[in-house]
Amino acid sequence: MKTLISIIIFLIYTLPAFCQEGTRFETLSFKEALAKAKSGNKLIFMDCYTSWCGPCQFMSQTIFPKKEVGNFFNANFINVKYDMEKGEGPELQKKYDVQAYPTFLIIRPDGSVQHKIVGGFQESDFFISLVKQGLNEETSLAYLGEKYENDNINKQELVDYLLALRYSGENQKYQEVNQKLQPVLTAQDRLRKEFWPVIEIATFDSEDFKFLARHADEYKKIVDPKKVDYQIKMIYRVAIAQTIRPGAKDPLNQLKQVEKELEEISLEGKEEFYAQIELNRAILTKDKEKIISMAEKNILDSNNSNTWDIMNALNSLKSELTDKELNRILTWEKTYTSADPKMKDYYNDFFENFKALVCPQVYYYDLNYKEALKRAVMQDKQTLLVLLPNDANRIKIQKTLNKEKTRKNINLNFITLDISPDSKEGKTLSQQFEINSYPAFIIINRDGTLNRKIMGIIEDNTLVKQIMSNQ
């Protein structure tokens, strides 16, 4: 009987672990994780995240729950995760100098770091391959870094070290090692399969990419031809995308160079890049008519892969569009929202943003407070809570806010809610933000923290200046 009871107890505690799919992150203090790693002779896999980090959420919701991912991590690690802004997080963030999110650390039982990977990844197989490099001590960041610093590293180890650095966030060291590796690699080395990973991390302006472009046919004989074409396309895609990023160096000339190279290279499907080049050139030259025309053309082409980029381009110009141009854009709403049901929420949000800009008064969103915070993140705005009692002052203040320059600034920069102080939500928010006099204006940052609050009757011009003080 005792034996039967023991078996039942064993099954109760162990069956969930065997049946559970996905990665099991254990609820342990860091000290407990170290002790468990030591007793189990395992390494710790630590997910360093924040609640507001999009890539962190993607990894948590999409990558780690996969069965094959769970099988790998559960078998090889003690898995833990810590919010870097709560509990032990700030202390661990400082201890391990975590500067970007998500950061994944492979930690030895003595607390030292064996490997580090920074960033979110869409492909689980690729992510696992990066973790496997860190799981193997002899290809890990710490081991190879020590060999490099002692000047005791061979050519293949130098390649492995470069690959480890590529995804570690240590960009300065990556550049240093890359410069040291380049003169060591011969043309014959570069055309060997084991050195293909060096080519895979080439950038548009690098000698490695120029070498790849010249020897594409030879690479197709030693690695998957589709992989070679994909790599070339990816480098061109990144080069084009970089031209509209802040601080891009001579972006128009880079677009011209990419366009010229595409004309000269034999690459299947290269036509997809020309529309993106045209769009980025229009963004850089602020050619509003070109962007709007491309968006109109995009409506008729359901296979156009540039929809997302075109919408972002229009968003980037929204403060410069005239009411006529804004109304022209709004005529597409029905066509866009009915074209792709999966994108309906995005399109609804996109067009409401433009409706706010042409609204002849302050645009109050029909959302509750939590919904407004989410919308503010999507539209990269702050949230403005307007709490006006239903008295004579309400009409006066609304008139002040609805003056053309003021309401345009508010509609451009805020998700604005009109909340009655007497409503349930109004009372809750008044208590939460310690509002003791009305009218009241509460400004919330994009991360959900309080920026400032303005209370009581204030002279019109002063009120406007205080609302718009950091816009």
How far from chain centre, in Å, is Cα 240? Answer: 18
* Token digits of residue 446: 């994009």
Which one from 19, 48, 53, 359 is the annotated catalytic residue?
Answer: 53
Is 359 a catalytic site residue? no
Is 48 a catalytic site residue? no
Alpha carbons within 13 A on the beta-carbon side of 245: 8
**Beta carbons within 10 angstroms of residue 409's beta carbon:** 16
Which one from 19, 48, 56, 359 is the annotated catalytic residue?
Answer: 56
Alpha carbons within 13 A on the beta-carbon side of 366: 2
The radius of gyration of the chain's CA atoms, rounded to the nearest angstrom, is 28
The torsion of the CA quartet 173, 174, 176, 182, rounded to 10 degrees, works out to 160
Q: How far apart are CA 204 and CA 44, in angstroms?
A: 36
51-85 as b/e: b if 16+ CB within 10 A: eebebbeebbeebbebeebbebbbeebbbbbbbbe
Q: Which stretch of DSSP H or E encloses residue 444?
A: strand 440-444
Q: Which positions ≥6 away from 224 have C-beta within 8 Å?
A: none
Q: Which positions ≥6 away from 202 have C-beta within 8 Å?
A: 208, 209, 212, 231, 235
Catalytic residue annotation:
53, 56
